Structure 1
Amino acid sequence: MTTDEYLTLCDRSLDGYAACVRELGDAHVNSSLTGVEGSNSAFALVAHVVGVMGRWGRTVNRGIVVPRDRDAEFTATGTVEEALELLELGRARLHEDAHAADLGAAPVNPPTGRDRGSHALRGPAYPTQGAVLLHVHEELAQHLGHLEVTRDVLLA
């Protein structure tokens, strides 16, 4: 797979986030599912995936430290316009980071502790920059599914 093919897949997910945010509008972009523990708003999911892209694409792969407050991502609020701006910033940085990646090389700042994930893996959780980028896509796809369910329920 080429970097451009990879980015096409990521862009599809990011376009899905943007579509959901627009559909929810300012009236629902900060709403989560009532009575569903762990449910997150659309804005919070956008803040989270932008944090994910920065953490993994920049800090882990490239060694460019991106300050991140993961817990705050899940309580972030804002407008549709602010969510769309965050998505575009995240997309631009992901494109830059993916093109700068040496897919077969080890990450510059390998993940430790919690970032290794709960997987029972032997060796490094993400041994190459290419594996780190695949993790970014995995997160984008997973949380897009969460967002789509949230949107469907909120607008039902």
Structure 2
Amino acid sequence: MDTFAEQLVVKPMTPADQAKKFGLIAATGILCLGLAYLSVMVMPLILLVVCAVAYGGYFLVTGMNVEYEYSVTNGELDVDKIIAKRKRKHMLTVKIAEFETFGLESEAKFDNNITTFLVGDGDEAHYYAADFQHEGMGLVRLVFSPNERILEAIRPSLKRGLR
């Protein structure tokens, strides 16, 4: 029987992200106003530059909106990063049967030698951690926040000791 489940998770804005967004908006606004003031002298060229700066600012600010998509298909977990709903970046694919550990992140043992991917929704109470061996990065810990549907799709593919 084929299994398929997917979930979109919106990355929350941290205070640092909000400060960057505010700084970008302020810098774009100041630059546009300054260039508009100069447009009195060289009207057509500066007006074109103002439009380009405004679009560039919009592009950068909306590019800070990030979502993660988890999809479980026949025993494989795919994680993709979606930037501003216009660009998709594949992060990793792993066979669920290769998980060495799986469970709540709060119960996982901390280890400095593990490469960690945090792809969650900001609510740390229901983060899950999965440790597995990756051919390029060595031992990897994926920290993510699956919903119940994703968990139900993961459980049948886990090793017996992890269920």
Q: Which bracket does the TM-score occupy, shorter chain normalised?
A: under 0.3
More strand by share: 2
Taking structure 2 as the reference length, the TM-score comes to: 0.25
Q: Which has the higher contact order (CA 8 A, sep 6+)?
A: 1
